[in-house]
Chains A and B, each alone.
Chain A
Amino acid sequence: MNINGKVWKYGANVDTDVIIPARYLNVSDPRELAKHCMEDIDAAFVREVRQGDVIVATTNFGCGSSREHAPLSIKASGVSCVVAKSFARIFYRNAINIGLPILECEEAIDMTDAGDVIEVDLASGRITNITKGRDFQAKPYPEFMLKIMAAGGLVEHTRAALAAR
């Protein structure tokens, strides 16, 4: 899958409370959640985000609460991919499990600004900043995770594993 979109850039330790505040967690419908995605850190996000856009952040993205509502709301808001220097571990698992592509790449983050247009080739992990004309290589996924992603998420992977038993 090829991704092409405008960059929303954030700093370190973007926590799941600002990605989707707890006051909205009395529902779990991703489209409802998406209406409030990132609102406590960036009020413009929900208004202006377009299908295919990319979130770029520095370290420890998605720290805090285990709420899967966070990656779900990001995905439902139209974001096609999150690229960060590092992810909090629960967020990382959740994103892979629900099929929100995420990539780790130090260099790309430092060289990318808000509003840049970037392209991502998920299969190879190649990230191209079209605006700046630069290429970067993300860390490869462990093979086990590639299998989950190829199956379409953890639930599909588990169904296939149970069927094979």
Chain B
Amino acid sequence: MTLAEKILAAHCGAKEVSPGDLVSVKADVVLANDITAPLALREFARIGVDKVFDPKRVVFVADHFVPNKDIKSAEQVKEIREFARHHGILWYDVGEMGIEHVLLPEQGIVLPGDVVVGADSHTCTYGALGAFATGMGSTDIAVAMATGEIWMKVPPTLRFVFDGRLQPWVSGKDLILYTIGQIGVDGALYASMEFAGRAIDRLDMAGRFTIANMAIEAGAKAGLFALDDKTMEYVRPRARREFVAYQADGDARYAGVFEYDASKIEPQISFPHLPSNTKPISAVGNVAIDQSIIGSCTNGRLEDLRVAAQVLKGRKVHRYVRCIIIPGTQTVYMQALREGLIEAFIEAGAAVSTPTCGPCLGGHMGIMAAGERAISTTNRNFVGRMGHVESEVYLSNPAIAAASAVLGRIGSPDELA
């Protein structure tokens, strides 16, 4: 069995599962946010139970429209805050919250070997820890909150192998953008992606989270990494409970294997309006930008901010560009402050925000007008994603986003004097 199959089998009490099996699995963690929780609560009430299955395993994070941007979003958060207090579930509000997919691994809430279901499509991020984590809708999550169980179809597994050393300024973000460019936004539809190879072994956890995060952008149900020393080093000081380290069998069956030479991959840019519209940085041409966003559940980790600071330190953001930097969590923010990264950003002329999803989904904190263009370290560049339907989003890694902020057009740190 593959890693995904191993985890699902263990969570449905079967010796073995195969792709296509419909199984009812036990969930270790159930997640919702300020957009999806209100709908989930409505459905939860209709189920007719008066308690969640386990308050320690249900997590709500208010991260999309907070600190609340208007009265309606304030009402939504109020509703879920009251539910969270009443049921004693894990609840992250302004002041301790961060973007859910940066926060949950950091706080040791999601662990290797877990089955995690979240009412957010980027729940797949936790696959970096070797967890089977997948996004669903609010009704599914309401049922999981009530019963601790959820039905799933066992997905086939596609294996992606990266060998070779990464070029300068190439990161996990570029590997996943490149992959999506190769297979398309439905290239892994309904499948579980598994990432392996020497380039992946050398990648830090931040890079792995970025890759797993965007598995959904290829249509995948989950994106998994095998456990290694780096995973254990990350998890050990954070884990608040026991976990099981599953490994794929040597004779696991894969529905497809894709092999890439990572040393040939340049920094990648996804042009509007699909993450699969990728070009290597050398083929971008002259694309002027109005805004540069560095943050999100894809690239809002400390490692991402360090790279951005490396590029921005001692330089100035182009006077026609708004550069907005959003640390993923309070812990990331605090550490960035201690390391002097925040100072470097502000001195460069960037705006630094408290953790929030903000502009990533066109919520607040950097909405674009018609005709404007952003380079962004986020994960989606759909029509209207960051504001007006006639605005454009280009996806990149943090080094490119920072360099572009200085250049006033999409470009690489190598172009900076």
Contact = CB atoms under 8 A, between A and B. Distances in A.
Contacts of B43: 155
B70 A26 contact: yes
B185 A155 contact: no
Nearest to A142: B22
A21 B219 contact: no
Given A40-B384, A90-B135, A162 B189 contact: no
A28 B73 CA distance: 10
Contacts of B142: 155
B139 interface: yes
Contact of A22 (B135, B138, B147, B361): B361
Interface stretch (A1-9, A65-73, A113-121, A132-140): A65-73
B47 A162 contact: yes
Contacts of A158: 47, 143, 146-147
A15 interface: yes
Contact of A93 (B72, B140, B185, B385): B140
Contact of A21 (B46, B380, B384): B384
Contact count band on B: 35 or more
Contact of A159 (B48, B219, B383, B389): B48
A47 interface: no
Nearest to B221: A89
B306 to A, nearest CB: 29
A94 B121 contact: no
A23 B362 contact: yes
Interface stretch (B34-42, B91-99, B242-250): B34-42
Interface string A122-165: 00000000000000000000101000000001110011001000
Interface in B57-82: 64-65, 69-70, 72-73, 76
B363 interface: yes
Given A15-B382, A60-B219, A88 B361 contact: no
Nearest to B218: A63
A49 B243 CA distance: 51
Contacts of B185: 13, 60, 63
Contacts of B143: 154-155, 158
Contacts of A97: 137, 139-140
B72 A26 contact: yes
Contact of B38 (A23, A28, A88): A28
Contacts of B119: 66, 68
B76 A28 contact: yes
A85 B38 CA distance: 31
- Classify chain A: how many residues form its interface, as a range: 35 or more
B348 interface: no
A103 to B, nearest CB: 17
B266 interface: no
Given A26-B70, A66-B119, A88 B189 contact: yes
A17 interface: yes
Nearest to A165: B147
Contacts of A88: 186, 189, 219
A46 interface: no
Contacts of A60: 185-186, 189, 219
Contacts of A40: 383-384, 389
Nearest to B380: A64
A153 B143 CA distance: 11
A67 B189 contact: no
Nearest to A21: B384
Nearest to A87: B189
A25 B363 CA distance: 9
A21 B362 contact: yes
Contact of B361 (A65, A98, A153): A65
Interface in A42-70: 59-60, 63-69
Contacts of A65: 120-121, 361, 380
B190 interface: yes
Nearest first, the 4 A-B pairs at minimum CB distance are A94-B137, A26-B72, A68-B137, A60-B186
Interface of A: 13, 15, 17-18, 21-23, 25-28, 40-41, 59-60, 63-69, 71-72, 86, 88-90, 93-94, 97-98, 142, 144, 153-155, 158-159, 162
10 contacts: A17-B362, A21-B362, A25-B35, A60-B219, A66-B136, A94-B138, A94-B139, A142-B22, A144-B22, A162-B49
Given A15-B382, A25-B35, 8 more contacts: A68-B138, A68-B139, A69-B39, A89-B190, A89-B221, A97-B137, A144-B151, A155-B143
